[in-house]
Amino acid sequence: MTKRIKTALVAASLGFFAVSVTPAAARADDPYWQCVTFARMFSGINIFGDAWTWWRQAADKFRTGKAPETGSVLVFRPEGRMSRGHVAVVSDVLTDRVVRVTHANWGGSRGKVEENVTVVDVSTSNDWSQVKVWYKPSNDLGSTVYPTYGFIYKGDRDAFGGSRQMAENTLGAGQP
């Protein structure tokens, strides 16, 4: 319980430092960023298609896992209004349960890039399967809990000696 309180306090104090990359007043000629286009360019993880498909596509090409690393991509599962999922690049790992992400086209920042947004692991198993995301308008963590698949790490799966079987053993067989 103390660890959860500490994590919440860290998230609350760090959320104040989340800044938007784009100015408040958008111009007509500003680019409109989709999360997948931005994540691919910012992370160097060359996956295409809707965000929810990234996890499956990464299985044979990249390392995947349940622990955040700077530069990895957090893949959100499709749910509710987020029917195509979402991807966000980890810009900083603050604790084992709190990271900052840089992402595009999220919530009130449609088509815009947000930098260093606090994301907190609220899963009971400490496995990043459920997260809350800092919500700038309320200056607090949002009330919505978002399901995630996990993290995709930059670099070929084979470059790290990983195999499909090793990944299944680590992450659990039959996972999408």
CATH code, domain carrying 108? 3.90.1720.10
Q: Over the stretch 156-167, which tens digit does the pLDDT of each residue have? A: 766 555 444 344
Q: Report the distance separating Cα 69 and Cα 50, nearest Å.
A: 22
Higher model confidence: residue 174 or residue 61? 61
**Range(s) of the domain holding residue 112:** 2-171
Average pLDDT, the chain: 81
Position with higher pLDDT, 160 vs 50: 50
Rounded CA separation 82/128 (Å): 18
Residue 146 lies in a domain: yes
pLDDT tier at 45 (50, 70, 90 boundaries)? very high
Cα(114)–Cα(139) distance, integer angstroms:
14
Model confidence over 141-154: pLDDT tens digits?
Answer: 989 999 999 999 99
**How many independent structural domains does the chain possess?**
1
In a domain, 176, yes or no: no
Establish if 139 belongs to a structural domain. Answer: yes
How much of the chain is helix, strand and coil, in % rounded to 5?
Answer: 25, 35, 40
Is 58 inside any structural domain? yes
